[in-house]
Structure 1
Amino acid sequence: MSTRSYKDAVEHLNSLQSNAATLDAARAANTRMTSTGILDTLEYLERIGYKPEDLNAMNVIHITGTKGKGSTSAFTDSILRRTKPDWKIGLYTSPHLVAVRERIRINGQPLSEEDFAKYFFEVWDRLQANTARKREDTPLMPAYFRFITLVAFHVFLEMKVDATVLEVGVGGTYDCTNIVPTPVVTGVTALGIDHVNVLGKTLKEIAWQKGGIYKSGVPALTVPQPEEGMVVLRERAEELKASEFIITPPVPGFPDLKLGLAGAHQYQNATIAAHLARTFLRVRDSYSDENPLPAPFVEGLKNAKWPGRCQMVPDPVHLRTTWFLDGAHTVESLDCCIDWFVSPGQALPMDTTSTSSKPRVLIFNCTSGRSGPSFLGGINQKIISQLEAYKSSEDVTTFFDEVVFCANVTYADGAFKGDLTAVSIPEADLAELKTQHQLADAWSKIHPTFPKDKLHVLPSIEHAVRIVHKLGEGERPVDVLVTGSLHLVGGVIEVAGLSKVAL
């Protein structure tokens, strides 16, 4: 047993991924996205030796939302670690960028490969040894995300954490993280309209899903929301008998605070994180500091890290290259990304009346080419508005010197890094680069005069990085924006050798 390695664990975990055909069929039938998913997870929990009530010992701060739930989790974790340095703080997030063990952290550090393998196979072996099921239609083994969630619960209980910051995977009501009976506090970040447009859901339906993490006797927090969504969240808090419903007010001192995460949108995430942390500490530790922003909170917010989100990384080897990494993958998050990137001191020179001498490269991918026109159109319009706002003399058509659309395949030989393996991409799509060609066509329609030899459709991330490295051999510094997909960002960090400086 002890010889089973981290690599073995990753291979076993990847065997639980659903392929593209299975996912498409499930979406079409809308199956296993309802309460059956919760029932399945509860069965798996029992099979590995726990009762739902056992999970309360993790002391959970449960966080969901359409936008900002990951950043809010990172802020909350950072605040708690500075406020209670003697505590053991667990953090569970998704997805990972480079290594799956990033999803489960103790005191800010991902599990070591040895610990991940140890706890992984303890859960795996218990499920394999105990195959009795209460419901015949419950699969023998959990799907990928459910399994790693069970591993996280097992880790946090075995390590006896003092607090757990638990990010919802998808939705809220039916998410497998939502089996904790009594969290300490729950929070909902921004309800964006992207899910309305892309998934065909109404804002009320989205709010109903997110509000499903509210629990009886537990404080229910939310950021300010569109009125239609706020009404539903308030109703859910009442229906589920939350102890209080709080719309998080502004925190004095925030406008002057430089947050650890870049982007103006992060101030809303930092605000609810501060309220979540304060509420948690009040409930669990009788915390009573009357300062609206105590010193440990300030330190936590200033030092929070959340790789791959509005992150500028100087290349440690190719010194003329600067990477701008943001896994934005919705219209609204891409808008925030460009707001950050196309600003003075980032991609624009401090003197915005001059034209930048730096070549700029866009590396982009998304999960479906059907979303490409709206994504790229939104990027284009945001660049235009940013250039106008800063009175820049630059032209949107020539803002990027090279544009690359590549598949999320890690290496040029067609292989994935084990932790980045994705069987959910249709084989035909990969073989024909269908999505990437759709993106290139959309770009050409937006910018008909963009040089064809500067527009690249490539089969792997390694191919894209090669273009950047070749460009970086010139005399001028190079700025590279990588966005559209967290999987893409993670692959670039891996292939470009940025792990030590980015993670």
Structure 2
Amino acid sequence: MSSRKTYQDAVEHLNSLQSNAATLEAVRASGGRLSEFAIPEMLEYLERIGYFPDDLNKLNIIHITGTKGKGSTSAFVNSILQHTKPSWKVGLYSSPHLVAVRERIRINGVPLSEEDFTKYFFEVWNRLQANDKRRLAHTSLMPGYFRFMTLLAFHAFRELNVDVTVLEVGVGGTYDSTNVVPKPVVTGITALGIDHVNVLGKTLKEIAWHKSGIFKEGVPAFSVPQPSEAMKVLQERAQELQASSLTVVQTPDVLPQITLGLAGKHQIQNASLAVELSREFLKKQNAFDDKGELSQTFIEGLCATKWPGRCQTVPDPVERGLTWYLDGAHTSESLDCCMDWFLSPDVSLDAEEIPPSMKRILIFNCTSGRSGPTLLSKINGKVAAQARKYDPSSYFERVIFCTNVTYADGHFKGDLTTKAISDSEIGNLTTQHQLATAWSSDLPAYPQQNIHILPSIEDAVNQIKKINDNSTSIKVLVTGSLHLVGGVIEVAGLSRVAL
């Protein structure tokens, strides 16, 4: 019997590092006080796998944070650099993944192969197991899931000799595990808002303080326009941390006329930041002749950008007449952008009279820590404001509230396993019943028989297939959770066309 480790072995080992629901609740209850140990612990893990912080500077890092748009901005930067410097090896580290955890670590836009992921995974795992001496008493033997993935990304990018690394922050900035890089080449902050990380009751000023923790001495920083109270904090922190400059980016005149690879008006701002981050990086590397205009390679990169699960339209490859609209929006602000996109004339509200046979269906879920009623009210409020000839009670013919469990037998796809929700909550469909109650409260006239509470994503997809009779045009909006979107891509067989 072979003892060779497989990709599934790596995924199982990785999943063992997840925090369970009780642990996450304890962290929330602590007010996040454990954050102060995050960087010292991460530095210790880094040393245990054979690296010093200065080694990370060789990765030539573009460090990006924000509360919304940081993934899209990272994707734009990645594509611009690939098109401008096709001979370069561009590394991209982002989160979360949609279908396979390998998606988090990409080379020139392509996820690590299962073979490479497994190889680098067990090199990091085995080093941590072998080098078990710890300086800090509170440091656990093994890091948590995201910390391990960050260590794995650093190791893979060093082994693969990338020319540049686009590094997306996980959560926050100051205490994020990516923030052990002493000197990135350039840093960027996307739009800031209070709802994405407001589980601990942070103010916008506090959020701006945490995000600006990625600023570094002598390193230029860029930001999109922010609310005045947030911008004041960014300016103060740029001085405190001695960033060489802090520039608020403006939208290039030509940018609104370009058909960006990512849909939605909000992407113009993300693309503007990506342009400036890319331009500054290339100047620093003496690899760009800046003429003060948007070069053709930049435009090509912006047009070719792909970032699955964000305002993405996917015609079903098998079911005739069925189109999936996928957006992992999970905050009030991002849902605002999602609904602007879904209600736009070229998506859901056609300029011509909509045929009576067309049906719209909503599949929705959110984690228990988020405010489901508020998010659903945002959806219905947008429908009421923009779809004026429709009663919000009839705009979506059906609504489906399901868990993020992948399969109807109660199991998760290995890469999509989550321990963040208690078994009792999943088994009792607690969140889903709360969402259904909130929907009915918001829309008392909505027919109860058209609300479905289902235990898995597979059940939800099967429900859609029951409704589809191939003579009807069905538009399905899937939103509220990137994990939900990833599960739908997996179960509905959309990977080939969506990823």
Report the TM-score, using the length of structure 2 for normalisation. Answer: 0.98
Q: Which amino acid aligns with 1:142?
A: P
Preserved CA contact (<8 Å) 2:461 2:491: yes
Deviations 1:273-326 (A, max 9, x none): 000000000001242230411000000000100000000000001121100000
- The correspondence of residues 114-263 of structure 1 with structure 2, limited to 5 A, is 114-195=115-196, 198-263=199-264
Rounded to whole Å, the distance in 2 between the matches of 1:239 and 1:177 is 20
Preserved CA contact (<8 Å) 2:408 2:456: yes
Preserved CA contact (<8 Å) 1:349 1:356: no
1:56 alignment partner in structure 2: 57
Q: Which amino acid aligns with 1:292?
A: E
Partner SS state of residue 285, structure 2: helix
2:406 alignment partner in structure 1: 410
2:393 alignment partner in structure 1: 397
Deviations 1:29-85 (A, max 9, x none): 135642311111100000000000000000000000011000000000000000000
1:324 alignment partner in structure 2: 325
Partner SS state of residue 316, structure 1: coil
Q: 1:423 aligns with which of 414, 419, 423?
A: 419
Preserved CA contact (<8 Å) 1:218 1:243: yes
Preserved CA contact (<8 Å) 1:218 1:242: yes
* Matched residues, number: 498
Preserved CA contact (<8 Å) 2:121 2:152: yes
Preserved CA contact (<8 Å) 1:216 1:240: yes
2:357 alignment partner in structure 1: 357
1:461 alignment partner in structure 2: 457
Rounded to whole Å, the distance in 2 between the matches of 1:33 and 1:300 is 40
2:265 alignment partner in structure 1: 264
Preserved CA contact (<8 Å) 2:368 2:431: yes
The yes-or-no answer on 1:4 pairing with 2:5 is yes
Shift of residue 88 of structure 1? 0.2
Preserved CA contact (<8 Å) 2:319 2:470: no
Gaps of 5+ in 1: none
Shift of residue 356 of structure 1? 5.2
Shift of residue 372 of structure 1? 1.2
2:342 alignment partner in structure 1: 341
Preserved CA contact (<8 Å) 1:369 1:435: no
Rounded to whole Å, the distance in 1 between the matches of 2:32 and 2:329 is 28
Alpha-carbon distance change, 372 to 162 in structure 1, aligned in 2, over 3 angstroms: same
The alignment's C-alpha RMSD in Å is: 1.3
- The correspondence of residues 472-487 of structure 1 with structure 2, limited to 5 A, is 472-487=468-483
Rounded to whole Å, the distance in 1 between the matches of 2:369 and 2:182 is 40
Rounded to whole Å, the distance in 1 between the matches of 2:75 and 2:196 is 23
Rounded to whole Å, the distance in 2 between the matches of 1:334 and 1:406 is 18
1:378 alignment partner in structure 2: 378
Rounded to whole Å, the distance in 1 between the matches of 2:370 and 2:183 is 40
Rounded to whole Å, the distance in 2 between the matches of 1:148 and 1:177 is 10
Rounded to whole Å, the distance in 2 between the matches of 1:494 and 1:54 is 37
Shift of residue 357 of structure 1? 3.2
Shift of residue 350 of structure 1? 2.1
Preserved CA contact (<8 Å) 2:194 2:207: no
Preserved CA contact (<8 Å) 2:99 2:415: yes
Alpha-carbon distance change, 178 to 2 in structure 1, aligned in 2, over 3 angstroms: farther
Q: Which amino acid aligns with 2:375?
A: F
Shift of residue 354 of structure 1? 4.7
The answer to which of 480-489 and 280-289 deviates more is 280-289
Preserved CA contact (<8 Å) 2:67 2:197: no
Rounded to whole Å, the distance in 2 between the matches of 1:342 and 1:433 is 29
- The correspondence of residues 272-287 of structure 1 with structure 2, limited to 5 A, is 272-287=273-288
Preserved CA contact (<8 Å) 2:28 2:200: no
Partner SS state of residue 177, structure 1: coil
Shift of residue 347 of structure 1? 1.2
Moved over 3 A (4+): 30-33, 195-199, 353-357
Preserved CA contact (<8 Å) 2:31 2:200: no
The answer to which of 368-377 and 326-335 deviates more is 368-377
The answer to which of 194-203 and 91-100 deviates more is 194-203
The answer to which of 113-122 and 26-35 deviates more is 26-35
Rounded to whole Å, the distance in 2 between the matches of 1:299 and 1:319 is 32
Partner SS state of residue 92, structure 2: strand
1:303 alignment partner in structure 2: 304
1:104 alignment partner in structure 2: 105
Preserved CA contact (<8 Å) 1:18 1:143: yes
